[in-house]
Amino acid sequence: MPTNEDAGSTDTANSIDGVLVRSANPIPHASTSLKFLQENGIPFMLLTNGGGKHESERVKDLSSKLSVPLHESNFVQSHTPFAELTHGEKSLRDKCIMVVGGEGGRCRDVAERYGFKNVVTPGDIYAAHPEIWPFSKPFQQSYYSSFARPLPRPINPASPADSLKIDAVFVYNDPRDWGLDMQVILDVMLSHRGIMGTYSSKNGDTSLHNSGYLQDEQPALYFSNVDLLWAADYHLSRLGQGGFQASLEGLWRAVTYHKNHKSPPELYKTVIGKPYRETYSFAEKQLVRHRDSMFGKDHPTALRKVYMVGDNPESDIRGANDYESPQGVEWISLLTRTGVYRDQDGRRPTWEPRAIVDDVKAAVQWALKDSGWHQPLR
């Protein structure tokens, strides 16, 4: 694609942490690389498994760190695809959803800005019914009262028809109080139709599928980030949202265990974020919308190639390699040496990228060359 007419049939998707910034500091050449893409009209998306804040806040933050003007339309966080569930046939917009994780009420704010009208947090439930989790201490009570809102309905086991009913459960970000959050999620998944305070009579019925578990119109359970570990200030990696998910599944196995079960009952769930296809498919759709806004809908060239630049073989590279675009777009994975992956010991990454490059600038140079772009990035 050597000419300007082809502008935009080559695009770049980027992982942020480990590619553009590392523990809040910009990685060398990140800013010049993004500026080059902007000046040359080459569309790009920034794709992160991070979250916990609204896209607009995150973009503002990143723009100032990198001194590059960015916009939320080319920015995808782990929970951004949840916004899609506020429209369409099965819209959850007016349903009562439970949002788990993140600092205080921040993820509730994010969900509301996505368009969800009726959002409950485990903190709201705790504030109204502290007996639901007897082990939270006084400092946790003051934490919850700082953002808790009155429940739309109380938990009323005597009259289930008037009791709080949860229609979907979303883990947006890392839970801050694993004990409470696990207890509440477990309660919902074992309930009759998501009605808090009830217990499904089908649970444990071996004549039913999945031994009767999750066969009683319980709500869907969504996770946004599968990363088991993440690099924090401590010298060893810390447990991430994937750790919470693994713990919840362990608990589920223990709670639903019975010697007569042919196989352990499954905890049905939907997991998005890198490396899952939902996230890549969302990013591709968003990229197409973003191109349309740059070039106009009637632009003659369709999106053909996306270069996925990432630092993490398990998420960025694996996801790009596995993703099969319904539009036939080719995803090409490029692994940088600026983050999770280091190759000093000569070890190959667990998921093989198309190329390994030093940093994001080298990745952009590789992509420009591969696509025959007319102007080099120096």
| Residues near Mg ion, by CB under 5 A | 15, 17-18, 311-312
Least Å distance, CB 162 to Mg ion, is: 47
Least distance from Mg ion to the Cβ atom of residue 323, Å = 17
Cβ count near 178 (within 10 Å)? 15
**One-letter amino acid identity for 290?**
H
Compute the distance between CA of residue 169 and CA of residue 194 in angstroms, rounded to an integer.
10
| Minimum distance from residue 67 beta carbon to Mg ion (Å) | 20
Supply the minimum distance, in Å, between the C-beta of residue 282 and Mg ion.
17
Q: How far is the CB of 246 from Mg ion (least distance, A)?
A: 20
In angstroms, give the least distance from the CB of 203 to Mg ion.
40
In the complex with Mg ion, which residue's Cβ is closer, 312 or 365? 312
Distance CA(347)–CA(241), nearest Å, equals: 27
The two tokens of residue 136 are 């939270």
Which residues have a Cβ under 8 Å from the Cβ of 322 and sit 6 or more positions away?
A: 275, 277
Task: Return the number of the residue (1 or 59) whose C-beta is nearest Mg ion.
Answer: 59
Nearer of residues 116 and 341 to Mg ion, judged by Cβ: 341
Give CA–CA dist 134/3, Å, rounded. 66
Report the C-alpha gap between 338 and 26 in whole angstroms. Answer: 11
Nearer to Mg ion, 14 or 121 (CB): 14
345 backbone dihedrals φ, ψ, rounded to 5°: -85, 10
- CB nearer to Mg ion: give 194 or 339: 339
> Min. distance of Cβ 369 from Mg ion in angstroms?
23
Which of residues 48 and 163 has its CB atom nearest to Mg ion in the complex? Answer: 48
Tell me the C-alpha distance between 218 and 220, whole Å. Answer: 7
Secondary structure string (H, E, C) spanning 118-173: EEECHHHHHHHCHHHCCCCCHHHHHHHHCCCCCCCCCCCCCCHHHCCECCEEEECC
Q: What is the Cα–Cα distance from 116 to 148, expressed in whole angstroms?
A: 17
Nearer to Mg ion, 216 or 316 (CB): 316
